[in-house]
Structure 1
Amino acid sequence: MEQCDPIGARLDRLPLSRFHFRIFGIISFSLLITGFLSYSGNVVLAKLVSNGWSNNYLNAAFTSALMFGYFLGSLAGGFIGDYLGRRKAFRVNLLIVGISACAATFVPNMYWLIFFRCLMGTGMGALIMVGYASFTEFIPPAVRGKWSARLSFVGNWSPMLSAAIGVVVIAFLSWRVMFLLGGAAMLLAWYLSGKYFIESPRWLAGKGQRSAAEKHLLQVESQIEEEKKITLPAWHSAGHMADPGVESGSFWLLFKGQMLRRTLVAITVLIAMNISLYTITVWIPTIFVNSGIDVTKSILMTAIIMIGAPVGIFIAALIIDRFPRRLFGSSLLIIIAMLGYFYSIQTEEWAILSYGLVMIFFLYMYVCFASAVYVPELWPTHLRLRGSGFVNAVGRIVAVFTPYGVAILLTRYGSITVFIVLGVMLVLCALILFCFGIETRKVSLEEISTLV
C-alpha cells in the first residue's frame, strides 16, 4: 500500500534545492528541444517544397508520421517507465530522439526523412509524457503544481525558438542544420541526465528495491543538508506504517473500479484540451481569411494573439496551487467556451484581436493545467506512466480527427457554429471534471493513490 510508505513522505518534506533544480533543468530543457524539433518541421517543410524535395502529399505523410510517432511513444513510454524505471525511460527516449534527429540531417530523400520523423515522434511522444509524470514524483506537494506549470512554461517557448533560429539557419545554412541542432541538444540532455537524473525513489520502493531507494534518498538528504547548512529532522515511521512490499498492477487496472473513473476523467480533460487547442490555434488564420481579412494581416493578427500563450502559462504557474484543481480546470473550460462564442461574432479587427488574445491566454492556462499538472498527478506510482501514456495516446487520436470535424462545420455552417459546438463540448467536459474529478492540490502522491 502506497499510503504506508515513508519514502514518499521523506521526499515531500525536503526543501527545494539544487537537486530539484537539476531535475527541473534537465526535463524542461528536454521539453524545450522536443518542441523545437516538432515546430521546426513546419519551417523545414516550406523549404523542402521550394527546392523540389517534397509536395503536398509527402508533406502530409511527414506530418502524419510525427503524429503516429507521438501516439506510439505515449503508449510505449508508459510501459517502459512503469516496468523499467523513470530514468531508463527518460534516457532511452532522449537517445532515440537525438540519434534520429541527427540521422535526419543526412537523409538522401524525403522518404528517409519521413521514416526518421516517425522515430523522432515516437521518442518525443514518450519524452513529454515521461517528463511531466516523473517530475511529480520528486517535487513536494505544496509547490508541485507551480513547478510542473513552470516546466510547461519553458517548453512552450519552443515555437518562437524554432521560428527565430529557422529564419537564420534555413536562409544562410541549410534546413538540415535544424535537425542537427535539435539532435545535438538532445544528446547533451542525455549526457546530463546520466549525471543528475536519479531513479525515482518512489518507483524503486514500489518495485521492492527499498535498499536502492534508501541509498538514493540518503544521498539527496545529505546533499541538501550540506547545501542548506541544516539538519533535516529524523524520520520516525508511525507505528502503523508497514513495508509496502512490491507494487504490481496490470495495465487493465486502469479500467476497473475507482481507477476507471480517473481514466475517464483524464481522457475528458485531455479531449477538452485537444479539441480547444486544435480548433482555436490551427484554424484562427483560416477563419480570419474567410472573414475577409487578407492573408498577410491574418498572419500578423495570429502572431499578436499568440502572445497570450506564454503569458497564460506564466500566470498559471503563479496561481495554480491557490485554487482547488477541479474548480480551476472546470472554470477555465467555461471561460474558454464563453470567450470562443463572443470571439466568433466579432466583426471589428480590434475586437477580434482583443477577444482572441484573452481567449488564448485562458486556453494556455488550461493546457498547462491539463498536460503538465493534473493528469500526471492522478495515478498511483505503479500505474502513473501507463495511465498518463494511455490517456495521452487517446488525446493524440482526438487531435488527428478534430481538424476534419472543424473543416466540415466551418464549410457547411460557418465559424460561429464551430465555436458554439466547441463551447457545448467544453461545458460538458467541465461538468465531468468538476463532478467526477478527484482533488489533488497539495496532496501527497501516496494520499492521491487512495482517494475515491
Structure 2
Amino acid sequence: MVYGTVVPVLLRDPSQLGTLTTAQAGALGSYALIGVMVGALIAGAVGDHIGRRRVMVTGIVWFSVAMGASAFATDLTVFGSLRFLTGIGVGALVATVGALIAEFAPPHRRNVYNAIVYSGVPAGGVLAALLALLASDGGDWRVLFLFGAAPLVVLLPVTLLRLPESPKWLQARGHTVRARQVSERTGVPLPGTAPSEAAAEPGLEAAAKTKIGFAALATRRYALATLLLGLTSCSALLLTYALNTWLPEIMGQSGYGASFSLVFLLTLNGGAIVGGLIASRVADRFGPQRVIATTFVLAAVSLALLTQGLPLGLLLILVAVAGVGTLGTQVLIYGFVSHYYDTVARAAGVAWCAGFGRLGGIGGPVVGGALIGAGLPPADAFYVFAGVAVLGTLVTCFVPRQAAERSPAPAAPAPGPLPGGGASVLAHE
C-alpha cells in the first residue's frame, strides 16, 4: 500500500530509480504480492512442524529488513527484488497469525479477536495514505519505506519477551510438559485430552491425525473444503486489490477530481475496519460462513449501485459498504479458515487461504487495468467486480460444514492463574 502512494513520484521523476513505464510500475506492484504468496505457502509448510512463534519472529525480522533496505535502492532491479523479499516476510506473518489467534482466543470471541488482528491490514492502508500526505517532497518517498523497518525496534523486542508458543500446538506435537507450563503461565486452557488420548475421539479420522500440515489438507476430510476456501479467499482478495488500485481512477473517469482519490481510499479502508469488527461480532454469534456470504452480497449490491450516478454522500456510504464486503470479508475468511482446521493442519490451512487467495490479489490490478485500458465505461468495471462478489457468495455457501466449527463443548478450567495473581479472560472458554 505504501508503494501505491509513491508510484506517481517514481513515474514522474526518473532520477529516483530510473525511467519507469506504467507496465513496469504494474509489475513492481505485483512483485510484493507474489512474495506474499510464496511466504504464506512456505510458512504453511513449516508452521505446523516448527511452531507459530518461530515463524512469527522470522517474519517480523525478514519483512522489516527488506522494507528498510528498499529505501536505499538505486535502480529498478534492486527495488523490485527487495519488494519480492518484503512480500515473503509479510506472507509468513499473514499465514501464521490466524493460526496463533485461533489457539489463544476463547471460542465465543474468536472471530472478534481475529478481526482485531487482521484489521491491521486496512489500518495500514489508511496510515500509508496519511504518511504520503506528510511526504510532500518527491524525495521523501524513501522515508515511507524506512518507516516499514520500525517493527525491528518497536515490535520485535516485545515479541521475543512476551509472545509464547501456542500451548495447543505444543500439546499436539507431544511436548506435554512445555504445553502445561505455557498454559499455566498464560491462562490459556489446554484441550481436555492429551495427544495420546485423541485417538479415541470419534470426530477425528485417522488420516487427518497422522498427517501434518499440507499433507492433512489433502485428506478426504479437508480436500473439498480446502479448494472452496481457497476460491473464496481468491475472490475477496481480487476485489480488495482491484479496488485499492483502480477505485480512484474509475471515480476520476466518472467526473470526480483527483482531490477525491484519497477520500475514496480512506473511506474504503475505513469501512473495512469498522464493518469488519461489527461483522466479526455477528460471526461469533451466528457463525462465520453465513456472515461471509452476506458481506459478499453487500459488496455485489454496493458495487452495482456505484454505477448509478448518486450524490457524493451516498457514494461514500456505498464505498464504505464495499470495503466491508471486500477487505472486511477477507478478514472474516481468515477467521473462518483458522477455526475450520485442527491444530495439526491449522497453519497450513491459513497459509493455503492466504497463498492461493493471493492469486486473486495479483490478478485484481491486472483485471482492473485491462477493463480500463480497453476503453470500457467505468460502470462496466464495477459490474465485473460485482460479478466476482456473487461468485464468492456461491463458493462460500458450498463449503462443507465442519464439526469443529459448530458450537464447541465447554473446555476444562485453566490450570492456574496468570503471573501476578490475575485470572486471564482467555481462560473462560
Distance 2:231 2:291 in 1: 15
Is 1:242 paired with 2:197?
yes
The match for 1:76 is: 42
Q: How does 1:295-444 map to 2 (within 5 A)?
A: 295-304=258-267, 306-346=269-309, 348-371=311-334, 373-410=335-372, 411=374, 413-438=376-401, 440=405, 442-443=407-408
Question: How far is the alpha carbon of 1:336 from its aligned partner?
Answer: 1.8
Equivalent residue, structure 2, for 1:93: 59
Residue 162 to residue 444, structure 1, CA distance change in 2 (3 Å)? farther
Structure 2 vs 1, CA of residues 200 and 354 (structure 1 numbering), >3 Å: closer, same or farther? closer
State whether residues 380 and 445 of structure 1, in contact with CA within 8 Å, keep that contact through their aligned partners in structure 2: no
SS at match of 1:258: coil
Q: Which moved more, 1:105-114 or 1:185-194?
A: 105-114
Query: Residues 214-253 of structure 1: matches in 2 within 5 Å?
Result: 214-221=180-187, 242=197, 248-249=211-212, 251-253=214-216
Question: Does the 8 Å contact 1:208/1:247 carry over to 2?
Answer: no
Q: Within 1, Cα distance between the matches of 2:177 and 2:400?
A: 35
Query: Is 1:140 aligned with 2:106?
Result: yes
The 1:355–1:194 alpha-carbon spacing in structure 2 relative to 1, beyond 3 Å, is closer
Per-residue deviation, residues 193-245 of structure 1 (Å, max 9, x unmatched) = 11111111111112122122122222224xx9xxxxxxx9xx99689982669
Letter in 2 for 1:74: A
Deviation at 1:445, TM superposition (A): 12
8 Å Cα contact 1:101/1:116 also seen in 2: yes
Post-superposition Cα deviations, 1:114-152, rounded to whole Å, max 9, x if no partner, equal 222221111011111111221111111111111111112
* In 1: Cα distance, 2:183 partner to 2:112 partner: 23
Q: How does 1:198-209 map to 2 (within 5 A)?
A: 198-209=164-175
Corresponding residue of 1:282 = 245
* Equivalent residues of 1:141, 1:441 under 8 A apart: no
TM-score after normalising by structure 2: 0.81
Structure 1 distance, partners of 2:279, 2:236, is 15
Q: Classify 1:90/1:259 alpha carbon distance in 2 versus 1 (closer, same or farther; 3 Å).
A: same
Supply the distance in 2 between the matched residues of 1:395 and 1:402 (Cα, whole angstroms): 11
Matched, 1:59 2:22: no
Distance change in 2, residues 1:69/1:365 (3 Å): closer
Equivalent residues of 1:136, 1:144 under 8 A apart: yes
SS in 1 for 2:108: coil
Contact 1:86 1:199 in 2 (8 A): yes
- Return closer, same or farther for 1:367/1:214 CA change in 2, 3 Å cut-off: same
The verdict on how the C-alpha distance between 1:159 and 1:322 changes in structure 2, with shifts beyond 3 A counting, is: same
Quote the RMSD (CA, aligned, Å): 3.3
Would the aligned equivalents of 2:235 and 2:391 in 1 still touch at CA under 8 Å?
A: no
Look up the match of 2:417.
Answer: none
User: Normalised by the size of structure 1, how large is the TM-score?
Assistant: 0.77
The residue matched to 1:178 in structure 2 has which SS? helix
Q: Distance in 1 between matches of 2:229 and 2:292?
A: 12
Cα-to-partner distance string for 1:60-83 (whole Å, 9 max, x where unaligned): 443232122111101111112112
Contact 1:144 1:442 in 2 (8 A): no
Seen in structure 2, the aligned counterparts of structure 1 residues 58 and 340 have a Cα distance that, compared at 3 Å, is closer
Aligned residues: 396
Q: Percent identity?
A: 21
Q: Verify the 8 A CA contact 1:70 1:123 in the aligned structure 2.
A: yes
How far, CA to CA, are the matches of 2:352 and 2:250 in structure 1? 33
1:192 is displaced (CA, Å) by: 1.4
What does the per-residue CA deviation read over 1:268-326, in whole Å, with 9 as the maximum and x for residues that have no partner?
32022123223434332222232233333455455455542332123234433122222
Structure 2: distance between partners of 1:363 and 1:164: 21
Structure 2 stretches of 5 or more lacking a match?
201-208, 412-429
Deviation by residue 1:404-446 (Cα, 9 ceiling, x = unmatched):
3344445365344434443344334323322434262653799
Is residue 188 of structure 1 aligned with residue 154 of structure 2? yes
2:191 and 2:89 mapped to 1: Cα distance?
41
Shifted more, 261-270 versus 402-411: the winner is: 402-411
Aligned positions of 1:106-117 closer than 5 A: 106-117=72-83
- Give, in whole Å, the separation in 2 of the partners of 1:335 and 1:61: 31
Once residues 111 and 39 of structure 2 are traced to their aligned partners in structure 1, the CA distance between those partners, rounded to angstroms, is 25
Query: What is the letter of the counterpart of residue 119 of structure 2?
Result: F
**Cα distance in structure 2, aligned partners of 1:435 and 1:321:** 20
More displaced stretch, 156-165 vs 99-108: 99-108
Alignment-mate amino acid for residue 286 of structure 2: F
- Taking a change above 3 Å as real, the CA distance of residues 64 and 360 of structure 1, as seen in their structure-2 partners, is closer
CA drift at 1:397: 1.3
Contact 1:321 1:442 in 2 (8 A): no
CA distance in 1, matches of 2:158, 2:249: 42
Give yes or no for contact 1:312–1:364 (8 Å, CA) kept in 2.
no
